[in-house]
Amino acid sequence: MPCISLSPWRSEQPGSVIDSVPEKTMLPASIASLSSSVYAVSGNTTTRFLLFKSVHGQGEIFNEVSESELHPGDILLFPLDRSNNIIVQMIFRHAAVYCGDDEVIHFVATGTQRKRDVISSRTTSGVIAKEGLVKMVKERGKYLIYRKIDGVNLNDFRRKVKEAMNSEAEYCASKNNCIHFALSLLGLEKFSSELVQIQDEVDSSHSETREYVSLEFLFYKCVTGHGEIFEEVFSDNLQPGDILLFPLDRSNNTIAQALFRHAAVYCGDGEVIHFQGTESQQSPGVITKEGLVKMKKERGQYQVYRKKGGIVLNDFRHRVRKVMNSEATYDPYTNNCIHFALYLLGLQEFYSNLVSMELVSRLQWDGS
């Protein structure tokens, strides 16, 4: 579910609103009237950034830049929804941060939110994940780009991204939302999350129809036309292209754990990419990258299988980049996580549609 980007800054002087509004900023009457009520209800951090592109204690430190100049660390503001209400589009935004390689990282609520939760302290589950920028443009619409005037320290930014990918957080529209998350990656705001503890341990643990592909791989670690080309390796020696098999659920049913698996592929830098089904009719399948440590905590111990003879890294990275901006319909028999994993290694077909890159050039703001 889209997150609500409207939240208060926790002021050192609770209830003080006047001090939070830059005096030099002039707004259209309709916006100013709305913004005054917004401030009165929900304070500063998110609203200050959305309306004035400033951060408390830092001042106005962001410049708007054009889409052709995207750099890692740029904050992208998408419409919260795609309605035709201009006021809603201007005020309410979903924030993501560009990571490079046409990928963005963002924080979204996964639980159910009600409209009144915009100004409440109600929390729900949240997820931190990377997605393809082109796909996100198609789903969310046109975006604006804001860059920190004095730039970002790329090493610090990448470290924070890596930590975030293996962190857990509760989403709160008023205290811990996508804006707080985006600003935290640039070192400008606190974001409440817990880093999943990393444990150094070694886990012990084309047929005539596409339905058989998954079973053939799960039982025999072979692929039709290629034979038995995988070997199990230890998890402390992961390499890009390794297939990780997680339990499909964490029940105590040994047979279920042995038979049913969820596949992900290691990309390097502590990240895995996977394909899973959703309950949404509009987006029946989703391709994302997630932190391996976090996924292990959520799904349990995994086994690692590596293609004998290795893979062509350039081809693998090309496919990963391509699918991050692709759409696919999940089918447990004919187009599932195992078809997806094998496709990334060049061993199986995967049914997906690449989102047209023309979308990016078409979706610029008027007058930009």
The angle subtended at Cα 167 by Cα 5 and Cα 321, nearest 5°, is 80
Task: Please give the pLDDT value at position 73.
Answer: 97
Both structure tokens of 360: 């990016």
Cα distances from 63 to residues 66, 174, 252, 289, in angstroms, run 10, 25, 53, 29
Residue 259 has pLDDT above 70, yes or no: no
Q: Record the tokens describing residue 150, joined without a space.
A: 């004095």
pLDDT interval class at 12 (50, 70, 90): very low
User: Could you report the per-residue pLDDT of 60-84, keeping only the tens digit for each?
Assistant: 889 999 988 899 999 999 988 766 6
HSE (side-chain half, CA atoms, 13 Å) at 114: 5
Q: What is the pTM of this model?
A: 0.71
To which residue do tokens 């003879």 refer? Answer: 309
The tokens of 282 are what?
Answer: 């509009």
Each residue's pLDDT tens digit, 167-201: 999 998 888 999 999 999 999 888 888 887 654 43
Q: Range with the lowest mean pLDDT among 49-63, 251-265, 353-367?
A: 353-367
Nearest Cα neighbor of 274 from 312, 246, 237 is 246
Cβ atoms of residues 15 and 40 within 8 Å: no
Is the pLDDT at 202 greater than 60? The verdict is: no
Q: 337: burial class by Cβ within 10 Å (0-12, 13-18, 19+)?
A: buried
pLDDT digits 0-9 by tens, 127-148: 999 999 999 999 899 899 999 9
| Rounded distance between C-alpha atoms, residue 17 and residue 43, angstroms | 6
Is residue 360 scored above 80 in pLDDT?
Answer: no
pLDDT value of residue 349: 82
Q: What average pLDDT is seen over the chain?
A: 77
d(CA 36, CA 54): 17
